[in-house]
Amino acid sequence: MKLYSALFVLSLIWGMSFLFIKVLLGIFDPWQIVFIRCLLGILTIVPLFMISKQAVHWKTLPVKKLLLVGFLNAGLPWGLIAWSETFLDSGYTAILNATTPIWTSMMGVFFFSISLQWKQWGGVLVGFVGILLLMDIDAPGLTKNQLGLGIVLMLVATCCYGYSSQYAKKHLQNTTVWITASSTLFAGMLLSALMMILTDSWTLPENPINYNTLLSLIGLGVFGSGIAYLLYYYMISAGSAEFATLVTYLVPVSAVMWGSVLLDEQIHSSAFWGLLLIFVGVYLTGKKKKKKDVLHLERDRTA
C-alpha cells in the first residue's frame, strides 16, 4: 500500500511541476527556473542526507561521471522543458515527456550495445506515430514553426533523460542514491548558472514575486526536485525500477488535469490519441523476453 501511495503522490507532484514551470515563466527566465529548482532541491535533500549519517568515500567518487549525469538528467533537460513551455501548454509538454522510456531504449541501442526485440521496435514506431499526431494539432496563437520548436525542445530533453539513465545504470551502480541525487542537482545548478551568464539572464526579475509565484517555487524546488527524488528512489529500493517507471503513465494525466483545472488549458482531441499511442509505445518498448525464452536462448548459445 505504501508503494502505491508513493506512486500516486509522485504522479501528482511531477504532473504539477509542469504547471509550476508555466507559472514561473511569467517572471523568470527558463535558466533561472532551473537554477532555483536545483538550489531548493539541494537544500531539501542535503539536510536529510546529513541526518541519515551515511559515510561518503570522497576519494573514490566518480566525479566526472556524476557531473555528466547531472548535466544530462537535470540541468540541460530542465532548461529545455522550461523553454518549450514558452510555446506549449503544460499538458502538451507532459505528454511529450512520457516518451522518455522510448528514447531510453533508443539510446541503449545507439550508444550502449543494447538490442531490442521486434515488439520493442514496434513500440518505438507506435510512439513516433503518437508524436506525429501531436505535431499535427492546431495550437491557437502558435505558428507551425513555434509548435515544432516546442516539440523538438521537449524531445531533445527526453533524449537527455534517456542517455543519462543508461549511462548511470552502466557507470554509477556502486554510487548511493543520496550521492547521485545530490550531485545531479548540484551539476544542474552549475550548468544553469553558466547558461544564465551566457544568455545574460542572471539579473533579478523586475516583476514582484507574488503568492502564486512563491508557491510555485516551493512546489517545483522542494517537492518537484527534492521530495520527488526521495519518493522515486524509495520506490526503486522498496519495489523495483519497473514499478517506479509506472509513474510515466500517470504524470501526463496528472499534468493535463492540473493544467485544465488551474490554468484553463484546452487539450485538443488529437493530443489524447497521441498520448494513447505513446502509452502503447512505452508499454511495448518496456516488454522484455520471458524468463523461459531467455533460458532457451542461453542453452542454444552453449550447445
Model pLDDT, residue 285: 72
- Grid cell, residue 273, equals 490519441
pLDDT tens sequence across 84-95: 999 988 888 888
Model pLDDT, residue 292: 46
Model pLDDT, residue 157: 94
Evaluated on CA atoms 137, 143, 145, 150, the torsion sign reads negative
Tens of pLDDT, residue by residue, the chain (303 residues): 788 888 888 888 888 899 899 999 989 999 999 999 999 999 998 888 888 777 777 788 899 999 999 999 899 999 999 999 999 888 888 888 888 888 888 888 889 888 888 888 888 888 788 877 766 666 666 677 888 899 999 999 999 988 988 888 888 878 887 888 889 899 999 999 999 999 888 787 777 778 888 999 999 999 988 888 778 767 766 765 556 666 777 788 778 777 777 777 776 676 777 778 877 877 787 666 554 443 443 334 333
- Grid cell, residue 1, equals 500500500
* Cβ proximity of 42 and 183 under 8 Å: no
Taking CA atoms, 259 is separated from 73, 74, 220, 254, 265, in Å, by 24, 23, 15, 9, 5
* Cβ proximity of 162 and 98 under 8 Å: no
pLDDT tens sequence across 178-237: 888 889 899 999 999 999 999 888 787 777 778 888 999 999 999 988 888 778 767 766
* Cβ proximity of 280 and 126 under 8 Å: yes
Full-model pTM: 0.83
